Structure formats: structure tokens, C-alpha cells
Structure 1
Amino acid sequence: MHEIITLQLGELSNYAATHFWNTQESYFTYSAEDESPVNHNVHWRPGVALDGSETFLPRTIIYDLKGGFGSLRKINALYDASDESAPTHLWEGSAHVHKQPEIEQSAYQQSLDLGAPAPTLKPSDVRYWSDFSRVFYHPKSLNQLYDYELNSSIMPFDKWSLGKELFDGLDREHDIVDRDFRPFIEEADQTQGFQIVTTIDDAWGGFATEYIQRLRDEYGKTPIWVWGLQAPAPGLMIVRAPNLDSWVASSSWQPD
């Protein structure tokens, strides 16, 4: 089997995908005598950390809103080259540094960093999807969208049209498929397909529609599998197959 590239769009999708990566990670074997039940080269990419050690990280591109990543840092311990004692002789005046308060790691994440037994997680312990993630991500996998803030009551990211507008604006300015997606294509030997995890009844549905259309334009022969999610809601109607087929067939479809 060849490489599959994953695209994760939004908070609910990242919760679901975190379970996927945690499960994939649990299949890793560390002895020549043990045989893994899965081919890790399909969903994981080999690489080299800053200290020269080999890495094996998810072959995924993740998008979320401002604040949606929780305590997860874009530059993690594998790639952090920061020097807190940077030279100051270039500026003779006093320096005032203003930092936004960091989100504290969950007890689960702290245990993983210390190599200690992880506590049993309860739903009340989880604030963000990163709180229960067991894997490192490459810095280029993490893409925070600052135009909207997670759970904002002033500018909620809820309408389908907002997602379309956000993608179109970002794509005009940055060509985000070329910037964010293409590097994963170029490092793969032979891409087998793309899997996309997205909600389909909110702004991320609009964002996903535009993203998929761009992928179709660029990689028309590559299969795309979409995991379409919906947040539970009272009285929610089940989307039957004919309606879902028409949604997939037409990228211009919008929910009422």
C-alpha cells in the first residue's frame, strides 16, 4: 500500500482524528520479533529531528481556529531550537516582552512528558482535543487560522458561507493548497489517496467544499475519501444516502 494524506478541518474533526492517531500509535512495535498489524508507512512519515534522531510522525494537515490547539505547540520538543539567552548587545535600551498566558497542559500530557503512568481520562478532564493526544506532529502539520476564535460569541464560525469565504480569502493570499498540502505530496513516493475529516453542517463544511474543489483541480486522478461529521443535536434528521450523494457530487450545495 502507498501513502494516504489526511486533512483535518475543525474542532470536532480533530477530536475524531486524535482517536485515530492514538490508535495507530498503539500498533507500533519496538522489537524485531514483533509484527505490526498495520503498515505504518501509509499514514506516517519518516523524518529527522533537530538532534538527528529519527522520527515517525502523522502524515496529516490540521486546521483549527485561534485557541483550538490548546497547549499543543507548533514547534514541539523534537524541533525546538529556541535560545532563551539570545544576545542582547544589538539593543542598548531596555526590552519589554509581552506574552499571552500559555494554556496549561492537561495532567495526561504532563504524565506523557515525564514518562509517568498516564491517569485515566474522564470527559471532564478534556478541554481540547490535544489534551489526550499521544503523538508528536511535524510543525508544518499544524495550521492555526487567526481570522476566527474558538467558541467566540462575537464572531462565531458557524455559517457555511463563512467557511467558503475564509478559504477563498486565504487561498487568494497564500495559495494554501500549495503552501500546506503540496509539501506532503512531494515527499511521498506514490500517494494512494486523501482522507478528509470534516464537519458538514457548519462553516467547516463550506471550507471543506472549497478545499476539495482545489484538490480536485490539482490532483484530479487521486481518490478522496471524506469522513463527514455532524455535531449531535436534538431532533437531528439523518441524512439519507441520495441526499449525501448529491452533496458529494455538487460542491455548491449549502445547508439551509
Structure 2
Amino acid sequence: MKEIVTIQLGGFANFVGSHFWNFQDELLGLAEDPHADPVYKNKSLDMDVFYRAGETQQGILTYTPRLVSIDYQGSLGSLSSCGSLYNEVQSDSPHVVTWSGSVSRQASEPRTKNLFLQSLYEEQETPSVLGNGIKKKNDDCRSEIEDKDIVESLENSVQFWTDFSKVHYHPRSLYELNGLWVDAQEFDNYGIGRDVFSDGLRGEEMNEQLRFFVEECDHIQGIQVIVDDSGGFSSLASDFLENIADDYTNTPVLLYSARGPGSYMKNTSQKESISRALHDAISFSRLSAFCNLIVPIGLPFLSQSKVSNFLRIEDSKPYHCSAVYAAALHSMSLPFRMEQLGPNEILDVSGVVDFNGVIQMLAGQARQNMVATLDVAMPAPPLTGEQKKQSLQESLHSLTPEVAEDVEDMYAVEHLTIHGALRSGTNRATISEVQDSVYAAAQNSLTLPRFSHLSVAQCPLPIPLPFPSIMGNLVGQHGEILGSPVSGSRRGSLDVHSIPMAARLRSSNAILPFIEKRSVNLHRFGINRGARGSELLRSWGFGKDDLEDMGEGYSKMIKTLDPHSLVSSDSE
């Protein structure tokens, strides 16, 4: 078995991760449900890649994610940092014998569970719960009303990523940064998080959390990292990743740098604008230095993008936006746990490839580019029929910000994953039909990538109960594109039970504008003579040599993607 360990750092990263693990939990529950669609009983998907089996002190068997989640103190909402499976009764603190003065004790009231969490914990105590704590869907009227109340409650009350999490976590998974509270307003730039990792025992504790999961792996595929890089967590992540690079030299790292909707607020002053530009330049340079492949994700206005053609998203809600990014990450992770079965088995997956294989495809070709874009079709269009407006490839749109559209790059390399595709209506396509459709579209395309790898699975994306109501009124129960809209503008988990998905990691010069913007800002505000941000960068701990090394790194990236570029280390 080849395991993957996941790290989530920062608020928005944990929102994305919460949805990601909900998808996995839903798959596990549906696989055990005798009444569920047989497509979910997929022997070719090995969930042990992301999960570990364990046992509590009471002898209860557990199955929890191989995950290290790092966030502010107080970011877990009503969830204990011990998780919900391994709760230990803490004894009262021993009496203070060396202090003769008075002792005062302050305690805050525990946060109350929302309607969803209340129902989740109640269901776990009843026979109607399936093996992994999944609520069984039934036609009972009272239960239906309760589900509607739950969905409405989540739409209006989500504050923390734990508010909509349906997953049990191991106590080693949850790490709160002691002293950094969730309402910290100034934790918004690279410099402010510079000493967080090295302060006290934080760095050692984070390393221990990770080591627990890595060392129990038989043969680790790699480490999947999701970082909220919009503020101080970027600095914390780069320090953590530097340690990981030293401790696990041969373990590949795939990094998603994620931006939430709140990170794109307009700057109120020139000083703030310069600080934000330098943060972006430093953050990308440092994070990319300690991973094998970096994928920036997070659009300023997801609701206005082409990705949302069939979605109804409120950009102000991280609960909404993170669900889309999590769905894309789920799709890209499917090939890492695919197993090719014997010749007598029904073919329900194709294009098996491991973690390092995808990284080598995208970052190890002749171009040696280690930055990729992420594109998604949500839901993916049918292969045939009246509702087919474009091919699967044409329906893919970028979740990576500041990229060039419709560029021609004869050296592009891509990895495409399609799962749960529909032939027409609600009829599922076979593996060979998807392959034939993709290859036919490629033959008719005027711009072919240098190399393209295709992974296909029949299992669609399951929609769990706490998934937000972001589907438009042209999306049917199984993710089919309807010919005419149904009533209501938004549809959620009670209306849509699954959707077909297509997602693509692509290494191409479409990422050039993203990189060039950061390179130009680093030189303009940090390196050039009289740069207005040089003092700020010194306060962040960066000297002239550090900045020039970053500038050279950007120049190499740009020249790799565009050999005719005139960008150099001393450019304006």
C-alpha cells in the first residue's frame, strides 16, 4: 500500500479540507450501505491510501484521516482538540504548592453545536447509522423536515470549518497554535508569521504530529499540503515545509496554495498595497522552494467565473467557495488510490498513476516547470445528447487566478481526471466511452499538449448532507444538465445526490502572468534602487542577498516557460 499524508494550514485551507474529507466519508458510508448505488462499491479505489485504522483505549476500532490540521487557537469551534473518538477525561489540575497568593480561574463557555452537529452525534447513537457515522437517507417525513432545517441552518450559521465536518479525527490530527486566536486581525502578511514556527515548542510539536502519521506508513506516496497563503500562515508553512524537506528528503510534496474570498479585499492605502504585493511575491517564492509541485488556487470572484456556469455561489462565504476547490482536489486525488484489478474484474478505473508519477509528468519533463494550474468542470457535461454544448476538455475552466486564457503552448503537459461521466441524461458512460470521447476531441483540436495523461473512474462525486446549496437550477439529481430549469434558484444535497466531474492539472505558459506579476513587484518594491518596500522586507527578515536569490528564481521560472523573455534579475 502507498499512503498519502495530508497537511492543512490556515483557515481557508481547513475549510477546503473539511469538504474534502466529507467527500471521502460519504464514499465510505455509501460503500457500506446495501441500498446505495452499486457504483460506490468500487473495489478499485483503495481508501487506505488516505485513511488509517486504529483503536481507542476502550477497544473501539477507528478509521481516521492521515491528517495534520493546523489553525488558530479557538478555530475548532465546538470540536475538542482531542477529536470526538479519543476523548479523555482530564483530571483536575494539581494544587499549586509553591504559590502562597490567591489563584483565580477563568473559563469560557464551550461553544454549542449547531443543528447539523447535534443531529450527527445523535445519529451515531441510533441503529439508523451506517458503519462510518453516515446518516441513512429515508423517506420518513419528519427526517426530511429535519434535513431541510439542517441545510438551512448551515447556509446561515457556518463560522468554523468544523461546523460542517462529518468526519472523526485522530487527536494527533488537530493542532491549535497556542496564543494565536481566531479573531487575530493583523495576521495578514508574511512577516507577521515569521517567528510562529520557531516560537516555543510549536515547530517541534508540529513535526511530532506529522511524524506520527508518516512513520506508521508502510510505503508513503507523498505529502499533500493545502496552505492558506493569504497571510501569516504562508510563513509558518514555508518553515514547516523546509523542515519536511530536510527530514523526508525522498518524499514528494504536492502543494495547493489556496486563497479565500476575503483575501481579495481592496487595499485602503498605498502602504497596504505595497505590503500585499510583496507578501504575494515572497509567499510564492518561499513556498515553491520547498515542494515538488505547487498549484495556486483561489479566484477573486468565483461566482463570476466560467467555473460557475452551473453554480450559484456567494463569494463572501468561505463555506461556498471552499466546496468547489475541495471537489477539484478530490477529483485530482482519485488516481493516487486507484488499483488495476485482474483481467476477470469489471473495468471501473483506468489510467492508474501514483503521486510521484503525476509530479514527474508536470514538473519533471524537459521544461522542468514546477508550477501547475488547476482546471475543473463542475458538473462535467454529458458525452452525447441534446445537452452537450462542448467537449469535456472545452468545459474545463481555471481555478488558478491571474492566468492567460486560450494560450497555445506546444510544450504543455497535462493530467486529466474524469469520474462519474454521463453518456446522456442520467445514463453513465463506460470507461471506454469516456476515453473515446476525450481522444476524439483531442484529434479535432488545433492545439494539442506535448503530453497528456488521462485517468477515468466510474464513481461520481457524492454530495454529502452538509454540502452547501450551490448547484444551479439546471443541475439534476445525478448531476445531469437539464433542458429547462427547475423551481428554485439554488439546489443542495437534498436535490442533487451526485455529480460527474472533470479536473485537470496543467503545466503550461498560461501561468506566466501569475509569475511575472510577482517577479515585477518583487523588483519594483523590494530590489530596485530606492524600492519603497525594502525597509518592510528587512523587518520581515529578508536581506539583499535573499531578495536577489528570489529574483533569480523568478527569472528562471519565466525563462523556462518563455525562452524569449527579456525578464532578468535587475529588470523593472
Task: Output the TM-score relative to the length of structure 2.
Answer: 0.39
* Alpha-carbon distance in structure 1 between the residues aligned to 2:229 and 2:51: 26
1:183 maps to 2:212: yes
Provide the secondary structure at the position in 2 that maps to 1:220: coil
Q: Deviations over 1:162-221 (max 9, x none)?
A: 2231112246x6523532211111111111100110122311111111111111111111
| 511, 520, 526: which one aligns with 1:241 | 511
Equivalent AA in structure 2 for residue 112 of structure 1: L
Change (3 A) 1:244 1:195: farther
1:74 maps to 2:76: no
Query: Rg: which structure is higher?
Result: 2
- Paired positions, count: 242
Change (3 A) 1:218 1:234: same
How far has the Cα of 1:23 moved from its partner?
0.1
Q: Deviations over 1:129-166 (max 9, x none)?
A: 1000001111111110022211224xx21111222311
Residue 92 of structure 1 corresponds to which residue in structure 2? Answer: none
Provide the secondary structure at the position in 2 that maps to 1:225: strand
| 15, 29, 32: which one aligns with 1:30 | 32
How far has the Cα of 1:231 moved from its partner?
2.5
Change (3 A) 1:104 1:223: same
Residue 230 of structure 2 corresponds to which residue in structure 1? Answer: 201
Q: Root-mean-square deviation (CA), in Å?
A: 3.2
Segments of 4+ in structure 1 off by > 6 A? none
Residue 64 of structure 1 corresponds to which residue in structure 2? Answer: 71
How far has the Cα of 1:126 moved from its partner?
0.6
Task: Output the TM-score relative to the length of structure 1.
Answer: 0.82
Bigger shift: residues 108-117 or 35-44: 35-44
* Alpha-carbon distance in structure 2 between the residues aligned to 1:83 and 1:164: 34
How far has the Cα of 1:59 moved from its partner?
0.5
1:159 maps to 2:166: no
Equivalent AA in structure 2 for residue 30 of structure 1: E
Provide the secondary structure at the position in 2 that maps to 1:120: helix
Residue 108 of structure 2 corresponds to which residue in structure 1? Answer: 100
Change (3 A) 1:230 1:22: same
Higher relative contact order (CA 8 A, sep 6+): 1
* Alpha-carbon distance in structure 2 between the residues aligned to 1:5 and 1:231: 23
| 120, 123, 132: which one aligns with 2:151 | 120
How far has the Cα of 1:31 moved from its partner?
6.2
How far has the Cα of 1:47 moved from its partner?
0.2
Percent of aligned positions that are identical: 25
Q: Deviations over 1:83-139 (max 9, x none)?
A: 78x8x9xxxxxx986432111111100000011754214432211110000011111
Change (3 A) 1:174 1:197: closer
* Alpha-carbon distance in structure 2 between the residues aligned to 1:146 and 1:46: 29
Equivalent AA in structure 2 for residue 162 of structure 1: I
Q: Which runs of 5+ in 2 are unaligned?
A: 95-102, 124-134, 136-142, 267-299, 301-400, 404-509, 520-545, 552-572
How far has the Cα of 1:74 moved from its partner?
1.8
* Alpha-carbon distance in structure 2 between the residues aligned to 1:37 and 1:96: 58
* Alpha-carbon distance in structure 1 between the residues aligned to 2:44 and 2:118: 29
**Alpha-carbon contact 2:81-2:176 (below 8 Å) kept:** no
1:49 maps to 2:80: no
* Alpha-carbon distance in structure 1 between the residues aligned to 2:115 and 2:550: 43
Provide the secondary structure at the position in 1 that maps to 2:32: coil
Provide the secondary structure at the position in 1 that maps to 2:79: coil
* Alpha-carbon distance in structure 2 between the residues aligned to 1:50 and 1:138: 13
Residue 111 of structure 1 corresponds to which residue in structure 2? Answer: 119
